[in-house]
Structure 1
Amino acid sequence: MTDPNTPQQPDYSAAPAPSGQYAAAPNTQKTNVLAIISLVSAFFISLVAVITGHIALSQIKKTGEQGRGLAIAGLVIGYIGLVVGVIVFIFWIAVIGFAASSGNLNY
């Protein structure tokens, strides 16, 4: 028998499962490394972002890894960077050509 004056200890063995938004299981799938590289390099070297983004999408399709959104974001930002780079290059060629034809180049 137990002593009636002793406070009863709670039974932790049958604790209910937590409910709500914090009870989600951790994500065990890994993210494709090239997808991460694609997104990060899109802000620095657009060509690397485009190449690694396409490779990452191919790998994700085969392996089922996470990171498809990262690869697509890297591709979009990379292609935008390439287009802007080509426009800037054409603009500078036009400026140099205009300056050379007008005779305003001072060496």
Structure 2
Amino acid sequence: MSQPPEPEQPPSPYEPPPGGQQPSPYEPPPYGDPYGPSSYGQPPGEQPPQHGQPAYGQPSYEHPGQPPHGQQWGQQPPYAPQVPYGQYGPPSPPGGGGGGGTNVLAILSLVFAFVFAPAGIALGHLARRQLRTSGEEGAQLATWGLILSYIFTGLYLVFCCGWLALVIWAGSDGSNT
């Protein structure tokens, strides 16, 4: 395929100027570099690549329908930056891949185990039922919420029964009638 004719360009600094005068090798050519300092290393007569355009033979990483890379000011890069070895990366977005975050009922089960244990038991069982189907995390939280809720409920019942027995024993005057 033929290329369109190139516009008239100044002579190359590598060719001797017309008229037989030889310029000093220590002075820049009198007409200057037509492409500025970015054209060094380019063959004579070839234009350097413009900003945002790949050089000849280099792949373009642009997607159709999107502006060129040079026009994406203020946009976040499409990938997460790499973190040093041994550190955790950025958290995954909620709802994306792997079933999401921790089950809220599992967290509440563990909290209510210390606040009001019977509610912790109910929330723990509801959380376990949801975890079987949703794929969320939090199975250990729900299990520990159930265990602690049952322990605290048992201790509460023992305390209440002991206190009631103490009140009945203290209320009796010691006489059998």
**TM range, normalised to the smaller chain?**
0.7 to 0.9
Largest Rg, 1 or 2: 2
Question: Which of 82, 85, 89 is matched with 1:20 structurally?
Answer: 85
Distance 1:18 1:92 in 2: 58
For residue 121 of structure 2, the aligned residue among 37, 40, 50 is 50
| CA deviation profile, 1:34-58 (whole Å, cap 9, x unmatched) | 0111111111100010000000011
**Alignment partner of 1:65 is 2:140:** no
CA–CA distance in 2 between the matches of 1:59 and 1:34? Answer: 9
Q: Secondary structure at the match of 1:79?
A: helix
The 8 Å contact of residues 83 and 89 in structure 2, kept in 1 or not, is answered as: no
Q: Which gives a bigger RCO, structure 1 or 2 (Cα 8 Å, sep 6+)?
A: 1
Aligned counterpart, 1:12: none
The Cα shift of 1:26 comes to 2.5
2:86 maps to a residue whose letter is Q
Secondary structure of 1:26's counterpart equals coil
Indicate the residue corresponding to 2:104 in structure 1.
33
TM-score, normalised on structure 2?
A: 0.46
Once the 2 structures are TM-superposed, how far is the Cα of residue 75 of structure 1 from its aligned partner? 0.6
| Identity fraction in percent | 34
Consecutive aligned runs of 4 or more in structure 1 exceeding 2 Å deviation = 23-29
Cα deviation code 1:13-72 (max 9, x no counterpart) = xxxx54511254634521111011111111110001000000001100111101111111
Seen in structure 2, the aligned counterparts of structure 1 residues 76 and 27 have a Cα distance that, compared at 3 Å, is farther
CA RMSD of aligned residues (A): 2.1
- Residue 81 in 1 paired to residue 152 in 2? yes
- What TM-score, normalized to structure 1? 0.74
